Amino acid sequence: MDYQGLLEEVATHVAPHIGQGEVAQYIPALASVDPRRFGIAVADVDGTVTGVGDWEVPFSVQSISKAFSLALVLEQDGERIWRRVGREPSGNPFNSLVQLEYENGIPRNPFINAGALVVTDRLQTLTGDASTTMLEFLRAESGNPDLAFDQAVAASESEHGDRNAALAHFMASYGNLDNPVTTVLEHYFWQCSIEMSCRDLAVAGGFLARHGLRADGSRLLSPRQAKRINAVMLTCGTYDAAGDFAYRVGLPGKSGVGGGIVAVIPGRCTLCVWSPGLDARGNSVAGTAALDHFTTLTGWSVF
Which residues are the active-site residues?
A: 63, 66, 188, 239, 257
Check: CB of residue 249 under 8 Å from CB of residue 292. yes
The amino acid that residue 133 corresponds to is T
Dihedral of alpha carbons 234, 188, 156, 148, sign: negative
Q: Give the rounded distance of the alpha carbon of 176 from its chain centre.
A: 23
Count the Cβ atoms, other than its own, within 10 Å of residue 166. Answer: 15
142-149 long-range contacts (CB < 8 A, ≥24 apart) are: 142/196, 142/199, 142/200, 142/201, 142/203, 142/204, 143/203, 143/215, 144/196, 144/200, 147/194, 147/195, 147/196, 147/200, 148/194, 148/195, 149/190, 149/193, 149/194, 149/195
- Residue 258 exposed, middle or buried by CB count within 10 Å (0-12, 13-18, 19+): buried
Residue 57 CA to residue 218 CA, distance in Å, equals 29
Q: How far is CA 179 from CA 55, 159, 250, in A?
A: 37, 20, 37
**In 266-286, which positions are buried (b, 16+ CB within 10 angstroms) versus exposed (e)?**
beebbbbbbbbbbbebbbbbb
Cα Rg of the chain (Å, integer): 17
Measured in whole angstroms, the distance separating CA 230 from the mean position of its chain's CA atoms is: 12
